[in-house]
């Protein structure tokens, strides 16, 4: 998205009009979506109820809704990643408890604590713990990376939206 922001700055702001600037942006780009929303807001500001809202407020609301949709799309999948990162250690802990339970059961059935009765189940417990951590650590690192990246991307999106709002209201469509 930061590459698209650079592209938007290079193309959009050098255009002769908002319409031409929007057309210069990549189809499907969040910046194109926001620009199109601003343009549509000015074109469709008519009708009994809409005329009671001044153009500035209407354009501002329309652009903000577009920004909110972009932010929502950026956050897709983050909840799942956070859930995996936070629950995987507990799955590993459950495996540890299960392995220790098997070790204690083996000791109880044999009547004595020998290494051959304990080693297998404790090894299983350690493997389950390692698997839980192997899943959790990358998930948490990935989540944190994506949240930081999304935050900086949204700063670019909001800056573009604020500038667009000003240009749209200037009437240079």
pTM of the complete model: 0.73
Q: What number of CA atoms fall less than 13 Å from residue 108's CA on the CB side?
A: 6
Q: What is the pLDDT of residues 83-92, one digit of tens each?
A: 999 998 888 8
- pLDDT value of residue 49: 62
For the chain, the average pLDDT equals 86
Taking the chain, what is the end-to-end CA distance rounded to the nearest angstrom? 25
Name the DSSP letter for residue 49: T
Residue 51: pLDDT over 70: no
Contact 21, 43 (CB under 8 A): no
Neighbours of 22 (CB within 10 A): 23
Helices 115-170 and 78-110 sit at what angle, rounded to 10 degrees? Answer: 170
């Amino acid at each position: 998205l930061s590459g698209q922001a650079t592209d938007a700055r290079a193309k959009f702001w050098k255009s002769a009009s908002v319409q031409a600037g929007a057309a210069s942006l990549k189809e499907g780009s969040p910046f194109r979506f926001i620009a199109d929303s601003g343009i549509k807001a000015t074109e469709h500001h008519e009708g009994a109820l809409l005329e009671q809202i001044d153009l500035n407020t209407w354009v501002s609301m329309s652009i903000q809704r577009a920004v909110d949709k972009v932010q929502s799309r950026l956050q897709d999948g983050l909840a799942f990643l956070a859930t995996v990162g936070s629950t995987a250690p507990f799955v590993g802990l459950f495996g540890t408890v299960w392995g220790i339970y098997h070790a204690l059961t083996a000791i109880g059935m044999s009547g004595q604590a020998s290494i051959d009765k304990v080693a297998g189940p404790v090894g299983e417990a350690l493997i389950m713990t390692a698997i839980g951590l192997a899943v959790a650590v990358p998930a948490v690192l990935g989540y944190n990376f994506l949240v930081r990246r999304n935050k900086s991307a949204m700063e670019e999106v909001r800056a573009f939206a604020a500038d667009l709002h000003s240009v749209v209201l200037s009437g240079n469509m």
